[in-house]
Amino acid sequence: MSTSSDTTRRPAPRAASASESAHGTRLTLRDATLGRPDAPVVTGVGLDIAPGEILTVVGSSGCGKSTLLRTLAGLLPLLAGEITQDGRPLTGPGADRALVFQEDALLPWRTLRANVELPLAVKGLPRAERRAQAGTWLDRVGLADRAGHLPHRVSGGQRQRAQLARALAGAPRAVLMDEPFGALDAQTRAGMQDLLVEVLRGTGATVVFVTHDVDEALFLGDRVALLGGGRLTAVRDVPRPRDRSAHDNPARLALRRDVLSSLGT
Amino acid sequence: MAAGRRPFPRRPLPKAGRYALRAASPAAALGVWQLLTSLDIDLWLRFSQFPTVADVARAFAERLSGPDYWTDLTDSLTRILTGFLLAAVLGVATGVLVARSRLAEDLLGPVLEVIRPVPAIALVPVAILLFPSNEQGIVFITCTAAFFPVLVSTRHAVRALTPVWEEAVLTMGGGRWRILASVVLPGALPGIFGGLSVGIGVSWICVISAEMISGQYGVGYRTWQDYTVVNYAGVFVGMVTIGVLGWLTSTAVELLGRRLTRWLPRTSYDTGGRPRSARVAVTAVTAGAPGTPATTPKTEEARDEHLV
């Protein structure tokens, strides 16, 4: 595969200051085998995710994207190899790595506000503080007027925005997103991508974003990882990430062609 | 909208109409009873010895003015509420334990499965052997009767929980107790209340039977006493009392359940025979003024609550 001249430069325009990038976490997999004990899905994975980076993961369905994410979250133990967080072995789930699911992961008996307050309650924050912080996050994702609604009373896009607020409210050092916009229509989806970029600004969190949409992967990611055939086939740098005007940039178009053809085989 | 197609498939009865219908059905039953007994109908089924509605009403009025009736009532209610509440706590706790822990399932499962088919009322000898007083024995039997429906429905409800909810709380750093309090118990609540509704029913069956066998005071004891002295009207007073008490307590359980699981999206319930205009109004409000719509579903709910 051809590597563009951008490859050597690690693009990190999001982590504007040193203190912000210090907030993100480094996640490293070495020669890892992932899957359920009786059914390994991906083998020989070597991946180093830098603090504050957005890594998108693409691949056809069933190729182990979700497995990779659950392993990073600490929900699935490794079958072989090594996984570390900032150099220390990663042993289980924790509040520093939040997970955003495709859909229906909000607790249906809690209002949107109460859902966003949940990670803060787990942290042991006093009620007034929880309420204030949850209100701020709901406001940032544009749900201030829906705060008192139950999840099934709002639209799918609004539910995903609430999930995003819930994940970020706990101030995690990594946000792991499992096709969070996969069930939304194209227009809502583009809006959600912009919103994601917007709310991530200033958090400095490392993001691993799984999607089956190549354009989404190329728009959001600093780097894009390709999964297929039970292996991690490539990790490519994306030129001018999170820049809507770059969609016809020649380097981006070449990368898009590469990614699509490698997914096709 | 196309002409000739009716926008509302079925015109629901107005509220007053539904109440009238609900009142008419027991009234008709009483009417048939009165007719059969006062005419001394003897067609294979023999109604000639049967007390008439008027007899029963007279006996009821006499009972109400005497002191024993209220003692019986409070005794029976105390027994059933104690037994039922114990069963609810124990049943939910055991159900969650068995569903969440393989060790608990292996340890408790076989014992529970062997005891479960034994009818609670067959435990009367056990209760007499175990407990120093009849009172405790009756509570024990009532509790055992309600325990199993609660246990089984809790176990099923906990096993059926969506795994994503638990994973979400795990990745917030939540531990075992947080998951229990924030995911397992609220998520299993609809199923648990199914078990509680069944449980309160079998509790009544068992408390009355146990009182008949071994009690002193209580509605069941009184009913059996009346039978032994051939006071048939008194027997029917007892039956009516049991019926009304059973209805009131199961309605209370039902209402509490509905209140606590108000978050459930009740679509099938919505489209039943209820005024469709109410739903249209709800969606209109939701679309129009985002701050207020929470109040509308409440009145919707409230309207149905007296029609349990």
Locate all alpha helices (DSSP H) within A79-126, ordered by sequence: 112-123
Question: Which DSSP symbol is given to B51?
Answer: P
Shared domain for B70 and B151, answered yes or no, is: yes
Q: Which residues of A touch B265 (CB under 8 A)?
A: 108, 152
In the A/B pair of chains, how many CB contacts fall below 8 A? 72
Shared domain for B124 and B211, answered yes or no, is: yes
Whether pTM > 0.90 for this model: the answer is no
Give the pLDDT of residue B13.
66
Domains contained in chain A, CATH given: 51-96+179-265 (3.40.50.300), 103-171 (no CATH)
Number of domains, chain B: 2
Residue B67: CATH number of its domain: 1.10.3720.10
Q: What is the pLDDT of residues B16-52, one digit of tens each?
A: 888 888 889 989 998 988 888 888 888 888 888 888 8
Residue B90 has pLDDT above 80, yes or no: yes
Domain contains B268: no
Tell how strand A27-36 and strand A80-85 pair up.
antiparallel
Shared domain for B286 and B247, answered yes or no, is: no
Shared domain for B250 and B194, answered yes or no, is: yes
**Per-run averaged pLDDT (10 residues), chain A, 265 residues:** 39 43 77 84 85 87 84 87 85 87 86 91 88 88 86 87 88 88 81 84 86 85 84 79 77 80 73
A98 closest CB neighbour out of B162, B165, B171: B171
**Cβ-based burial of B290 (10 A; exposed 0-12, middle 13-18, buried ≥19):** middle
**DSSP per residue, B251-306:** HHHHHHHHHHTTTS--HHHHTSSS-HHHHHHHHHHHHH-TTSTTHHHHHHHHHHHT
Domain contains B60: yes
Split at pLDDT 50, 70, 90, the class of B301 is: very low
Question: Which residues span the domain enclosing B183?
Answer: 56-260
Shared domain for B255 and B286, answered yes or no, is: no
b/e code B167-189 from CB counts within 10 Å (16+ = b): bbbbbbbbeeebbeebbbbbbbb
Domain contains B7: no
Shared domain for B245 and B134, answered yes or no, is: yes
User: B-side interface with A, Cβ within 8 Å?
Assistant: 162, 164-165, 167-174, 178, 182-183, 186-187, 189, 261, 263-265, 286, 290-291, 294
Domain contains B73: yes
Domain contains B167: yes
Query: Rounded distance, CA B86 to CA B69, Å?
Result: 26
Domain contains B142: yes
Domain contains B133: yes
Test B171 with A73 for CB contact under 8 angstroms: yes
ipTM for this prediction: 0.84
Shared domain for B168 and B288, answered yes or no, is: no
Test A109 with B187 for CB contact under 8 angstroms: yes
Residue B156 has pLDDT above 90, yes or no: yes
SS3 content of chain B, % helix, strand, coil (to 5): 75, 0, 20
Q: Which of B116, B67, B63, B74 is CA-nearest to residue B94?
A: B116
Give the pLDDT of residue B7.
58
Shared domain for B135 and B188, answered yes or no, is: yes
Shared domain for B176 and B129, answered yes or no, is: yes
Query: Residue B153: enclosing H or E segment and its boundaries?
Result: helix B134-159
Q: Which residues of B touch A110 (CB under 8 A)?
A: 263
Shared domain for B250 and B300, answered yes or no, is: no
Domain contains B69: yes
Shared domain for B122 and B244, answered yes or no, is: yes
Give the pLDDT of residue B152.
93
Shared domain for B290 and B253, answered yes or no, is: no
Query: Rounded distance, CA B218 to CA B241, Å?
Result: 11
